[in-house]
Amino acid sequence: MKCPFCKGELTESKKNPEYMLCYACRKKFKKPQQMTADEGKQKGKRDSRLEDPEEKEKRFREEKRRRRLQKQKEQQGEETEIQDNEELQDLFEEEEGRFSRLPMILLAIAILAVAGVIVYLLW
């Protein structure tokens, strides 16, 4: 086996036979594990060549359906989020309308007070 970095020869470790050592670049690599078909099934991995075509088609349809439902849920979430944003924007516009009148009223009162003081001083 060759080292992936320096392409030197890898040798088995004397202390731990699960590792391969490269003496050229002083690196340690774990040995690749060979998996048989039985081990793959035990770990939950499927061998597609051994599967029945009908099962494969059924699994494909289920996966497609699951993805479609997930996409619909995401779209509905986006729609509700957009509606929530629109409602918030409407609330802010209403509040802005109420608060924009208040400074105008205060300014008018101040102008009338100053005009009253000026008229009082001149008479």
Residue 49 inside a domain? The answer is no
Residue 2 inside a domain? The answer is yes
Residue 26 inside a domain? The answer is yes
Residue 21 inside a domain? The answer is yes
Residue 108 inside a domain? The answer is no
From first to last of its 123 residues, the chain has per-residue pLDDT tens of 788 888 888 888 888 888 889 888 888 888 877 644 455 555 555 555 566 778 888 888 888 888 888 887 777 777 777 677 677 677 666 555 555 677 788 899 999 999 999 999 987
The domain tally of the chain equals: 1
Token output for 94 = 């209403």
What is the domain range of residue 24?
1-32
Task: Tell me the C-alpha distance between 55 and 35, whole Å.
Answer: 23
C-beta separation of 5 from 25 below 8 A: yes
C-beta separation of 41 from 48 below 8 A: no
Residue 109 inside a domain? The answer is no
pLDDT at 45: 53
Residue 99 inside a domain? The answer is no
